[in-house]
Chains A and B, each alone.
Chain A
Amino acid sequence: MSVARPEEIACRQLVELLTEFLEGALDEPTRTRVEQHLVWCPGCTEYLRQFRATIGASRRLAEDDLPDRVKENLLDAFRHWRHGS
């Protein structure tokens, strides 16, 4: 373990780069520094894992069913529009 070198990314900065990292939007040198940091930093590795888990869990919100009442109302609106136009 050595003292952090200035060109290293600090954890505080790394957590702010994760969306860009996951989107492939970082420039090459920054992406490399993020990857290198993740190799040795268990805190940031766990943070990234949690960040991904959060995104994965959010995706499950799309699964609720739409109530029939809503569909019927909208279908009525659609028929009304058809006949009115």
Chain B
Amino acid sequence: MGDITTKVLILGGGPGGYVTAIRAGQLGLDTVLVEDQALGGTCLNVGCVPSKALIHAAETYHQATALSTASPFGVAVAPPSLDFARTIDWKDGIVGRLKAGVAGLLKRGNVKIVKGLGTFLDGKTVRVDTDTGTDTIRAECVVIATGSEPLALRSPPFGGRVISSTGALSLPEVPRRLTVVGAGYIGLELGIAFAKLGASVTIVEATDRILPLYDAELTRPVAQRLAELGIELRLETNAEGLSANGDSLVVTGRDGARTEIAADRILVAIGRRPRTAGFSLERLDLSMNGNFIRIDERCATSMRNVWAVGDVTGEPMLAHRAMAQGEMVAEIIAGHRRSFDKRAIPAVCFTDPEIVSVGLAPDEARAAGFDVKVGKFPFQANGRAMTLQAEQGFVRVTARSDNHLVLGIHAAGVGVSEMSTAFGLALEMGATLEDIAHTIHAHPTLGEAFQESALKALGHALHG
């Protein structure tokens, strides 16, 4: 049993927690990080990173398969084979390298890592049950970065063939028939990847369209691609439970009829919930915001010197938001004046094609009371897109009519996730349509569609 006293105590080693710790270490603060599972949290271990590895492998396999039957530009290959165990090994290798990297960064910052589940004794004291005994850690400042976990259906619950995204990323084989419950970005990313790996995929969604948090125009290219990939989409359909013999998902369609979907695996991806239970958080009696911990613009909770960052504090539950919050909180604790004053948090769906959303969509901008100009430029008219066989999708910019301040930038298309950098910078710098239109964009690149969309909003697109 050990007693540790420190300046900063961080609960959770995901993107929110480990970035807080690294920055606190850089600033010379005495810092302890408590994590009972792997460093890197959901993002690094069972989220963003491994899913991208799987998506890349799936796309490569899918393209090789396509080239083995047709060769539009003269490259012909033999039908490929898939060693899925090696795919998973390769993915795990990437995760391992990144985890080691995080551990190294924490070490360089002199952050002490305590491995075990931390539970609150009071707002400044945490007990950690480790392999070697119990540590009691007292801190001046506590940062809660406990993240989120997949939301389960009441029926069927997780277990057996019913898996969460975590399970889907470490399957021993590609399921022959995969049913995905939930057409949000997680369900679509994994559903599309497994379809490309050869699974027969059905996606069940309760609302009337895929990606209900994005506007219909933006999600249309993805919906088209689902059809091309042979993915069956059942909208306005609810999962009810497993069939009696347990090998099918029972669903109710929009007409109320119950049907069964035979499935080897059922991936439930209906959302995530903040992780606020199991570590005596209730002892702090913090003000809550629904299920989330309530924070202000400095990530301060209702208790003095107790801070919270990341998914546990609310939407959007995105790693880069957590990292930005964590960096800020460390600096505030170090005595700097900081505020979470971001104009935009980009969101990316690594579907096929990809979707990027930064700032307000046209309808959201109008609802916020702005008169808007919208410029949309299709990749069909972009030379680079043709050379990449990536003509689906578009870039769309939304700006205020009165002063042309850009309010939102959205794109759907192959590889547009990398454009989120330019989009985010434009919004954060307070760019106007003219700023984008009068910046030379390299030719031939997909990014030219960004410039053209701004020109179009100004009424004089050059190529559209």
Decide if A and B are genuine partners: no
B binding-site residues for A, Cβ under 8 Å = none
